[in-house]
Amino acid sequence: MHRHVRRPRWLVIGALLALPACAGAQAQVTARVDQQAVSQDETVQLTVTVSGSGLSMFTEPTLPDLKGFRVVGTSTQQSIALVGGSMQSSMNYVYELEPTRTRKLTIPPVTVTIGGKSYHTQSFSIIVTPG
């Protein structure tokens, strides 16, 4: 004998209401450098920030080919806050870059993938003088 199972309406309604929140998860990917002119014996700190609400599946940043720089250190910083009833999270990826030559060098855009979508930061020009 086949028995039909009724699901409570509030369960279905709750699931439908949650869909826009998941689909509307807002992400922001930004980058900054701590200085735009350095001597060859100094380092440049590149910070890539991934922030937003409803973030769950994202990859670590993919660094481009950093011609003229060597990565000499990395660190991460995470913060989570409840803002207006929604959870806001932020993850900073910090890269310590040492120039390997003098001249005007470019740090190309960094890529971060969130939920299958790729986000790209801006590029930076760094002037490196002899140490």
* Chain segment 56-77, per-residue pLDDT in tens: 677 889 999 999 999 999 999 9
**Which DSSP string corresponds to 20-74?**
HHHHT--EEEEEEES-SEEETTS-EEEEEEEEEES---BPPPB----TTEEEEEE
What pLDDT score was predicted for residue 16? Answer: 34
**pLDDT band at 26, cuts 50/70/90?**
confident
What pLDDT score was predicted for residue 2? Answer: 47
109 pLDDT higher than 50: yes
Three-class secondary structure of residue 17 per DSSP? helix
For residues 75 and 25, the model is more confident at 75
What pLDDT score was predicted for residue 7? Answer: 43
What pLDDT score was predicted for residue 25? Answer: 55
124 pLDDT higher than 80: yes
**Which DSSP string corresponds to 72-111?**
EEEEEEEEEEEETTEEEEEEEEEEEEEESS-EEEEEPPPE
114 pLDDT higher than 90: no
> Residue 25: phi, psi to the nearest 5?
-55, 125
pLDDT (mean) for 88-109:
96
